[in-house]
Amino acid sequence: MHARIAAETAGVSVRTVWRWLAEARESGRVEAAPRRGGFTVTDKLWDRLSELGGNVAALHRELTAQADRVAAPGSAGSVPSLGTLHRAVQQERRAGRVLHGVRPGRGRVEPAVYDRALAELALPGTVGETGQTPAGSLASSTVPAPGALPALSAVPDGSATVVPSGVLLGVRLYVPGAHVVATSQSGEVTEALAHTVAARGIACVYGDAGQGKTVAVHQALGLLPRRLPVCLAQVAVKSALPQLRAALLTAFGLPATALTNRTDAADRALIDAFKTPGVLLIDDVQRIAAPELDYLRLLADAPTTQMSLVLCGAGAERTLARARALASRVLTWQHVPRLETSQIPTVLRLFHPLWHTATDADLLHTDETCARGNFRTWAKITSHAYAALDQHPGTGADRALLSKACSRLGPNP
């Protein structure tokens, strides 16, 4: 039965699943062994392909042009053929890798147009009997522009607390005096989730680890104009269906211990909980296997469901790609990218005062060689720089201090 479920999830035959298992037993590997000498698509190439809208031919032309510029006269170069590149991309997509073609455009939406769109999708009671939108509703409140959200102060131990509709979020900032900074990326998440919640849809917020996905989601939910209940489900790694059901029951404040082993009663209780307008947030959704994700799809498909579902995590888009039924129902795919180079000096000086004395050149050099736009990495660098300045007062945040702080991050910062 498990082989059949795995075959249906991966879109292959049962015989192929048994062959994979036999190969795994013989080799001791659980991942697919790469073909010796074969071409693979690197993360850099995949990002460029996403920027090109998935146009493999355009990517091949760029690779050929780059090879012609750097190759010695008479050399054949190392660019794969167009067919090889097509096959490599298809193999990555079959493995669950998703092109980031859903990244939002940089053009801003006129507030009046956006407000009208939210008014059409408004929750019951948002639009009054006279056709006017009452104050405090999703439609009447202006969605904050990216970069205009207020920074949240950190508590003395170096963590910040964000309180979106009763959900507490501890964000490790590693250093006293730091602030959670609302960037343009978090502003885009706010817009996307406001639309999804108004439409009572499903959203997937994804991106690399340390990019600020969880913080952006909690900020966005805290800025929802209506006082909607927000429930946070904490799931275990590769949890089976009973454990997932128990996590959902706990998120809604239902007696998980009494209902976990009573399937029918637990399902009825969850369907009743989904009748109330609100938001169910599941962070680290990549921990859930595809068969268990289908249970979320069944709850979301119930005719009485009024609950919005927000799925967040590093690699969440690849996880949902393996659960095709649920992925097809996702209304909003929101990618949270790394910090752009032009953002680094401004964001860091808002993040902590010690960067006020650092030059733009030193900060940009550190980002290029170490942090690479990752906010969590910059939080660690700030912590080490803060400790060094505390031991040697009077010194400034120069390149030597930054190099020393980066040396504490190990081989994979």
- Give the SS3 label for residue 382: helix
**Residue 279: how many other CB atoms lie within 10 Å:** 25
Q: Quick: pLDDT tens for 303-329.
A: 999 999 999 999 899 989 888 899 999
Taking a C-beta distance cutoff of 8 angstroms, is the pair 138, 194 a contact?
Answer: yes
**Residue 332 host element (H or E):** strand 332-335
Distance of CA 291 to the CA centre of its chain: 21
Handedness of CA 193, 197, 203, 209 (dihedral sign): positive
Q: Which of 150-154, 220-224, 262-266, 368-372 shows the lowest mean pLDDT across its residues?
A: 150-154
**Residue 118: how many other CB atoms lie within 10 Å:** 24
- If pLDDT is split at 50, 70 and 90, which confidence band does 263 have? confident
Handedness of CA 164, 168, 174, 175 (dihedral sign): positive
Rounded to an integer, the average pLDDT of 221-247 is 84
Quote the strand ranges of 209-306, DSSP E.
Answer: 230-233, 278-282
Long-range pairs, 43-50, Cβ under 8 A, ≥24? 46/92, 46/97, 46/99, 47/100, 49/89, 49/99, 50/99, 50/100, 50/101, 50/103
Q: What is the average pLDDT value for the chain, to the nearest integer?
A: 76
For the chain, give the percent of residues with pLDDT over 90.
16
Rounded CA separation 14/33 (Å): 20
Q: Quick: pLDDT tens for 369-380.
A: 898 889 889 889
Position 104 scores a pLDDT of: 41
Taking a C-beta distance cutoff of 8 angstroms, is the pair 183, 339 a contact?
Answer: yes
Identify the residue whose tokens are 């009485």. Answer: 304
Q: Pick the residue with more confidence: 167 or 119? A: 119
pTM: 0.62
Position 171 scores a pLDDT of: 60
Position 35 scores a pLDDT of: 55
